[in-house]
Structure 1
Amino acid sequence: MKYYSTNKEAFVVSLQEAVVKGLAPDRGLYMPERIARLPKNFFDEIENSGLQDISKTIVEAFFGEDIPKEELDAIVDDTLNFEIPLKNVEDGIYALELFHGPTFAFKDVGARFMARMLSYFVKEEQQEINVLVATSGDTGSAVANGFLGVEGIKVFVLYPSGKVSDMQEAQFTTLGQNITALEVDGTFDDCQALVKSAFMDEGLNTRLKLTSANSINVARFLPQSFYYFWAYAQLIQQTQFSKTVFSVPSGNLGNLTAGLFAKRTGLPVDRFIAANNRNDVFREYLQTGRYNPRASVQTIANAMDVGAPSNFDRILDLYSHSHKAITNDISSYRYNDTEISKAIKNVYQGSGYLLDPHGACAYLALKEGKKPDETGIFLATAHPAKFKKTVEACTGIPIQIPSALAAFMQHKKQSITLPNDFGLLKKKLIGQS
């Protein structure tokens, strides 16, 4: 399988090149030249299959031309060794809990998969690879823990100072080993811009082999399609339904894009809802046809605080830049902190189900956007304990922190403060490598 750039100004490359490079030389994102349709019998039998078996079929359709099946199966087994339950919250509305992995956030799936795929390719590269990742919260912890101790790979996590929760920060600033945390004086968009500038700097790339573990990397976002199929399989087991809609907390749009890829392979999902917080650039595009990226603003759903979502380019490419085609499959709603907080409180009081701020935003969008004949699934993307203060303030009850999560808070913070200055980042990367 060959991969092309969304900007169409770079040469097509192999999967290995796409994964190791991360970003195309023309600053575009890599896309597979084709998306295979899965056979009908796969969907006929999906309700009787487990998460790992389903994922092995999907991953072979995406990557089977480039990596031997036994290697892919081993990567899936190592990646998906935890539960992803589907829970009925209220009539016609289900929560897919993606936070049962090592860092209690949905990004564990893509980050762990990419770490193992990149490790497979490192053996052929014969050169140390430096992973750069910008995070608005959960990406940094998932990537840092996914790559921790992986031989031949160093990870640099760039995060906006004071704009991630204490729990999130502890998960990537206390690890040491091959993980370096860079605390940037700026926003997530500043961190993301620094990472992209690093990829475009010829001098830096001559000195170091760089790649990204953000959802701009095909090995990060594509595996996130696994759980859409798994949700569908569980829904068949739990209820009768005719139409399905997914509501996705949307920041950098990688998770939503993975769902759109799942639909292209044949997953019988009718449409998607993109849930936005106050950073609603994508919602604005859906409503007006105009894309106006801007500086992000801080909210209690901080992992969605993105003002220039990278994967927007993939969505445009997937739909041949047709605004009409995109809006046929995707609608969007936005919510402020007050509305999100009320949702956490009201859902807990009404059903006993505990939401985190991102899941609450997706719940609200599903509640508002679901049609009477649809069954809805919203993605619960992080454990509520990762936002302990916020959730406790909403519900008035103490939140029990899982012991594995609490353990991160017991270690000493190790981070390097950095101004929003690419020249200083460049020096730091060269000096640390």
Structure 2
Amino acid sequence: MNFLSTRGQTPPTAIDRALSAGLAPDGGLYVPEGFPALPQPLAAEGLDATAHALLSPYFEDSSLRDGLREICARAFSFDAPLRPLSQADDWLLELFHGPTAAFKDYAARFLAEALAGLRDESAPPTTILVATSGDTGAAVAAAFHRRPGFEVLILYPDGRVSPRQAHGLGCWGDNVQALRVDGDFDACQRLAKQALSDEALRAQRPLSSANSISLGRLLPQAAYYAHAAGRHYAQRGEPLNFIVPTGNLGNACAAFVAKRMGLPIGEIRLATNANDTLPRYFGGADYLAQPTRATLANAMDVGAPSNFERLRHWYRHDAELRAATRADGVDDATIVETIRAAPQRHGIVPCPHTAIGLHVLETLRAQGDERPWAVVATAHPAKFDSIVEPLVGHTVEPPPALAASLARPASAEAMAADYAALRERLLG
């Protein structure tokens, strides 16, 4: 199978090359030329086996094909449990059981394993350039830390991530460097895209991406949707609907991949914070990127979601895309009230991003929707202790891996939101 650019100006590309490049030469995002049907049933399989079954058709022509099962076993070595909430047919898909307590651990680990398998050991080190609104950078750092042949450069918006997120970005050292950028996430994302599109730069310093624009992030994230939906269908005989808290749309696009491969997935509902680019569009306005607003759900503070290009590629007309999904925006005051009420109402303590999904679920139930819905829990609440703990009135203990990272010293280098400065840093 080949992969196409969303902008249509790049020839069909083999998966190994698309994975290594990150971004297509024309500036577009790689997408598969088709969606193979996933073999059934999957209910009795583990998450790593589901990932292998889902990814195998895409890697049929890859040099990684014979080692794909082992790659999936290493990347998906922790579960993504589907937990019942307090009310019938309310579910939580917990994606925070990895080393940095966020959903991005799964795909970051897969990408690291895949790129290591593709690497020519005689080549100079590859720099993984990643822009982050909070969680991506830590997951990528953990996945590539001390991995021979790779260096990681993290760009994050200074003062716009939680203190624990900032610590998780700067605590690695060795081959990982964090840059705190004087700007918002969209500025960080623009810098990363400029560098990845700079052929003269890449000729001097090999670069690749680990953001959600990377095909190596998109495809493996579909595995936990396939796994949850398959198991739910086997037990209950009906499709599972998902509420996906989203900023840059990468995780949500993965849900669409799983659905297009024939998994028993019903509606996919997008849940955003006060950055309302997507709610405006799905409400009928023209698509128009908005200036980023800082919110309590900072990992979703995105005004120009990159992966919208993928949705536009798959749904060629606005009416078709608007019929496929919708987006609901949730403001900070509602996030606060949802976190405060969640232990009593749902039996959990959520992070601010998960709280957005819970509020959308509550709205659907109030409207009389009785279908089974799973809220995607994107991060552990302990990453946002300064927000969550005052609202629930008790300490939220970090999981062991997160606690270990918090115990290490951390540092980050300041940088202006200026491409010349980043280019100089990369060539220095």
Q: Which of 293, 296, 299 matches 2:292?
A: 296
Alignment of 1:359 with 2:354, yes or no, is yes
Query: Is residue 171–residue 411 contact of structure 2 (8 Å, CA) maintained in 1?
Result: yes
Match of 2:314 in 1: 318
For residues 348 and 218 of structure 1, the distance between their equivalents in structure 2, rounded to whole angstroms, comes to: 37
| Matched ranges for 1:375-414 at <5 A | 375-414=372-411
Match of 2:229 in 1: 232
Partner of 1:283, secondary structure, is helix
Query: Is residue 277–residue 335 contact of structure 1 (8 Å, CA) maintained in 2?
Result: yes
Match of 1:329 in 2: 324
Q: Which of 51, 61, 74 matches 1:65?
A: 61
Match of 1:173 in 2: 170
Alignment of 1:342 with 2:332, yes or no, is no
Give percent identity, aligned residues only: 37
Q: How has the CA–CA distance of structure 1 residues 50 and 176 changed in structure 2, closer, same or farther, with 3 Å as cutoff?
A: same
Q: 1:332 is matched by which residue type in structure 2?
A: A
Q: How has the CA–CA distance of structure 1 residues 115 and 155 changed in structure 2, closer, same or farther, with 3 Å as cutoff?
A: same
Report how far residue 244 of structure 1 moved.
Answer: 2.5
| Matched ranges for 1:19-418 at <5 A | 19-39=19-39, 42=40, 45-89=41-85, 90-123=87-120, 126-236=123-233, 240=236, 242-319=238-315, 321-369=316-364, 372-418=369-415
1:102-144 Cα shifts (integer Å, max 9, x gaps)? 0000000110000010111113783321110000000000000
Match of 2:9 in 1: 9
For residues 423 and 393 of structure 1, the distance between their equivalents in structure 2, rounded to whole angstroms, comes to: 42
Q: 1:357 is matched by which residue type in structure 2?
A: P
Report how far residue 259 of structure 1 moved.
Answer: 0.5
Report how far residue 233 of structure 1 moved.
Answer: 3.1
Partner of 1:369, secondary structure, is helix
Query: Is residue 347–residue 354 contact of structure 1 (8 Å, CA) maintained in 2?
Result: yes
Query: Is residue 23–residue 212 contact of structure 1 (8 Å, CA) maintained in 2?
Result: yes
Query: Is residue 273–residue 366 contact of structure 1 (8 Å, CA) maintained in 2?
Result: no
325-334 or 71-80: bigger deviation:
325-334
Q: How has the CA–CA distance of structure 1 residues 211 and 69 changed in structure 2, closer, same or farther, with 3 Å as cutoff?
A: closer
Q: 1:38 is matched by which residue type in structure 2?
A: L
Q: How has the CA–CA distance of structure 1 residues 299 and 69 changed in structure 2, closer, same or farther, with 3 Å as cutoff?
A: same
Query: Is residue 64–residue 118 contact of structure 2 (8 Å, CA) maintained in 1?
Result: no
For residues 334 and 267 of structure 1, the distance between their equivalents in structure 2, rounded to whole angstroms, comes to: 27
For residues 353 and 405 of structure 1, the distance between their equivalents in structure 2, rounded to whole angstroms, comes to: 19
Report how far residue 416 of structure 1 moved.
Answer: 1.1
Tell me the matched-pair count.
425
**TM-score normalised per structure 2:** 0.96
Report how far residue 241 of structure 1 moved.
Answer: 5.3
Q: 1:159 is matched by which residue type in structure 2?
A: Y
Alignment of 1:419 with 2:428, yes or no, is no
Report how far residue 243 of structure 1 moved.
Answer: 4.1
For residues 262 and 245 of structure 1, the distance between their equivalents in structure 2, rounded to whole angstroms, comes to: 12
For residues 180 and 277 of structure 2, the distance between their equivalents in structure 1, rounded to whole angstroms, comes to: 25
**TM-score normalised per structure 1:** 0.95
For residues 253 and 216 of structure 1, the distance between their equivalents in structure 2, rounded to whole angstroms, comes to: 9
For residues 317 and 56 of structure 1, the distance between their equivalents in structure 2, rounded to whole angstroms, comes to: 26
For residues 100 and 74 of structure 1, the distance between their equivalents in structure 2, rounded to whole angstroms, comes to: 20
Extract structure 1 runs of 4+ deviating beyond 6 A: none
Partner of 1:47, secondary structure, is coil
For residues 284 and 121 of structure 2, the distance between their equivalents in structure 1, rounded to whole angstroms, comes to: 47
Q: 1:304 is matched by which residue type in structure 2?
A: M
Query: Is residue 229–residue 239 contact of structure 2 (8 Å, CA) maintained in 1?
Result: no
Report how far residue 289 of structure 1 moved.
Answer: 4.7
Report how far residue 96 of structure 1 moved.
Answer: 0.5
